[in-house]
Amino acid sequence: MKCVLDSCVALKWVLPEQDSDKAIRLRDEYRQGIHELLAPDVFVAEIAHALARAERRKLLQPNEGEQKLMEVHSTPPKLHSYLPLVANAFALSTQFRIGFYDCLYLALAEQEYVKLLSSLP
């Protein structure tokens, strides 16, 4: 299965959250070549931002975020430049009144004609 991976799903690889087990299974299957995962290149910044925030909120120990960042990036999705997605993402953001960064993932999914994984079934 080829799909766009939202950063919130990838964070479940390293942060214990609801459906972390499903996210880890998806990552393991991706490593085995069962799935093809894509993301806009803002994925890198979003993962780093979320892990730094988790450290500030004391959900992670000091310096644990860096280790988890390296863990996520040991199995990165195939990254696509966000620049060609901006116009469509902006249109989607204003039309549906949802966050622009979220719409970059949606715009990539539309461009590639694949499903967006922003939550897990």
Q: Quick: pLDDT tens for 28-41.
A: 999 999 999 999 99
E-strand ranges in 1-121 read 2-5, 36-40, 78-80, 115-117
For the question of whether the overall pTM of this predicted structure is more than 0.75, the answer is yes
As given in the structure block, the two tokens for residue 112 are 């590639």
- For the chain, domain boundaries: 2-80+113-117
Q: Quick: pLDDT tens for 51-63.
A: 999 999 999 998 8
Burial 45-78 (b: 16+ CB within 10 A, else e): ebbbebbeebbeeeebeeeebeebbeebeeebbe
CB-CB contact of 117 with 3 (8 Å): yes
Question: Residue 104 is which amino acid?
Answer: L
Provide the 3-class DSSP secondary structure of residue 117. strand
Please give the pLDDT value at position 119.
80
Q: In CATH terms, is domain 2-80+113-117 a member of 3.40.50.10310?
A: no
Pick 17 or 91 by higher pLDDT: 91
